Chains A and B, each alone.
Chain A
Amino acid sequence: MKGQKILIVDDETEFAETCAECLAFRGFDARWTGDARSAMEVINSGWHPAVVLLDLQMPEMNGLETLSLIKQFDQDIEVIIVTARGSTEDGIEGMQRGLFDYFMKPVEIEELVEKIHQALDKNKYPSPD
């Protein structure tokens, strides 16, 4: 599973950047963007993530809309929402749009990694190695 592409989308750039670094330490190919538009650009540019960690509240486009766009692009990309401002309704709405799971910040990196592994197991993406 090492080297799997993970994209972190969060307007809290400090969190996104640190999170990406932590994931990189654990062998993932992690990138981050500060908004949904940049994230879609990255995905469209051919860098195909296996899992996207997505914030809910973001300027311009919110997490749920971004989730729909990602799922439209590729149904197999698993999306995990990591948000400071979650609600059960958002969670249910997300699940209906194909969300894999839902985390409330602050979240421990180890928990995130475990969830990413579960998501990857689901689709059994082949390792590039």
Chain B
Amino acid sequence: MTPPSLFLSSRFHKGLRHGSDNLSGQDRYRRMRRWLLAILFLIAMTPVVITAALNYLQYQELLREEAENNARWGMESAKRNLETFLEKLNLSISLIADAYPHRELLVQENIDLAFTRLKRDHKGVVDLSVIGPNGIQKSYAGPFNLLGKDYRESPWYNNTLSRGAYISEAFLGFRNIPHFVVAVSRKMPDGGGNWVLRASVDTETLDKFLASLHSEIVTDVFLVDESGTRQSTANFRKQKRDQIVLPELSLKKGVILTNEFRSEKQVIRTYTPIRDTPWILVQEHVSHQSKNSWIQFRRQTLILLLSCAVLTTALVYWIAGFVTATIRKTEKEREAMLAQAEHTNKLASIGRLAAGVAHEINNPLAIVSAKAQLAIDLLQRSSEFESREKILASLAGLQKAVARSRDITHRLLGFARRMEVKLQPVQVNDVIEEVLSFIGQEASYHHIAIDKELDLDLPSIMSDQGQLQQILLNIINNAIDAAGKGGKVWIATAMIQPKTVRIEITDNGPGMTAEVQKKIFEPFFTTKTGKDKQGTGLGLAISYGLVKKLGGEIEVHSEVATGTTFALSFPV
């Protein structure tokens, strides 16, 4: 009994073998082609993709840097403009505070005049007022009645007192209208505390100023206070105040830049504090990813990549097909050569065997022949007796049988014989005529027509006349046999290539099946099995061997019920 492990192992190997047997040649080439396609495609596309990716990243980085720099510069310029606007306002108010003594500003006419001048230079200034050291509004020029209002609790008032000058965040105040305050404080001439000169500016002026900063790349500009609340008029009209989250960065100096994703778009936001105010200016810029140049670059890169892929696929498809076909052809040729070598080898070994057998048989045949001859000699000298003639006839039959056997063994030896090839210029047409002179009579006896179409300009070939004769004799004889009574045989010669002569022998006999055609050149294969048609099955095998020895080729083309053509080609 087989041990289980051995049993399993043998099953496994059987399975493997079975698997590989199933992989037909066609599948193998298909698989090879697929592999080639994949590998070649990878080899061709990898550098393209890497280059495209590097380009993509570099260009992206370049555009990002450019966009960020632009955002920074834009922001710095906006900050400068806003600071200049506020500084001028601040300066004007300081000038008024310095130019007019405190008590003069308490005179309505004076404050009205100062307000008119201020308003002329600074649009958006809503009113101008003086707040005494006690925090009570002392004089006022403007549309609202705010005289006597107490600002002691107002953050802006306290900030102004403590800092000397102050710009407030936007707020509603007593008037209930969004505005901000620019205020300066000055010491009372008598030294009793500080008075404050205040100008209110409506936030719409700020809104307009900010709106003027909008451009193709600046999509949003707004001010927020330190808590992140928007400083716009609209914001105060809403129930809910618009608030943004400020980046956790030091806002005391410079421009802070963040890349953010807002309403399905990548944007760059810049934040910067406005000097001497509680404000932070926020600008939103178009990110490089929304820029036309970037979109176009991406599209071009994609088109380039796709074109490359299509072109590469086509090229690789062609190369893979070509390489596979070439390998396939080479393998086929190799297989054909191997088959050829095998056939030649088979012929050689059969030849050796045949020669051995023929030699061994020749000796006993010689004895039989000699003994029969001796018996005939003896009988011819003896006197008449009963059955003498019969015995003589039997002995003659015996001699005939020996002669037949001899024919066979000699042909076998002829098949195996290694004759030296004697090369000389041979005119193929002449050899055909010689052969026909041997067998033409037999053909006409059987009413077989032989048509010749010989190329009269045929050059001589280097060959062995005797062997060529033997080959042609054999094949033409076969054609005559195949054509049969009343049949027809065509013999044609022609130059088919610059250095090849072709001879075609065609009959209109019964033809051969593909199976028979395959075996036709094998020794001992014969189709002549009829009563009066006996073949040794060596004729074509010998012809095949001789043609090969002379450096030629022999092919057979046949169709059942149509006929057969043997085509010989020889180099010139």
Contact = CB atoms under 8 A, between A and B. Distances in A.
A1 interface: no
Interface in B318-369: 359-360, 362-363, 365-369
A19 interface: yes
Interface stretch (B219-227, B275-283, B412-420): B412-420
B371 interface: yes
Contacts of B371: 14, 18
A61 interface: no
A105 B362 contact: yes
B377 A84 contact: no
Interface in A92-119: 104-109
B554 interface: no
A107 B367 contact: no
A85 B359 CA distance: 5
A87 B356 CA distance: 12
A108 B404 CA distance: 12
B362 A21 contact: no
A12 interface: yes
A127 interface: no
B391 interface: no
Interface string A46-87: 000000000000000000000000000000000000101111
B366 A15 contact: yes
Contacts of B485: none
Contacts of A14: 367, 371
Interface in B129-163: none
Nearest to A12: B363
B374 interface: yes
Interface string B389-425: 0000000000100110110001001000111100000
B377 A25 contact: yes
Given A87-B417, A88-B419, A88-B420, A12 B374 contact: no
A87 B352 CA distance: 12
B410 A104 contact: yes
Contact of B373 (A22, A86, A87): A22
Contacts, number: 66
A15 B419 contact: no
B419 A109 contact: no
Interface residues of A, number: 21
A104 B413 contact: yes
Contacts of B406: 104, 106
A31 B142 CA distance: 170
A22 B370 contact: yes
A14 B371 CA distance: 9
Nearest to A18: B370
B458 to A, nearest CB: 30
B370 A15 contact: yes
A109 B362 contact: no
Contacts of A104: 362, 406, 410, 413
Contacts of B420: 88
B369 A107 contact: yes
Contacts of B368: 106
Given A84-B362, A106-B406, A108-B373, A12 B367 contact: yes
A12 B418 CA distance: 26
Contacts of B405: 106
Contact of B363 (A15, A18, A22, A86): A15
A21 B363 contact: no
A25 B371 CA distance: 13
A85 B377 contact: no
Contacts of A87: 417-418
7 contacts: A15-B367, A18-B370, A18-B371, A25-B381, A84-B363, A106-B362, A107-B369
Given A87-B417, A105-B362, 9 more contacts: A15-B363, A21-B374, A85-B359, A104-B406, A104-B410, A105-B366, A106-B366, A106-B406, A109-B369
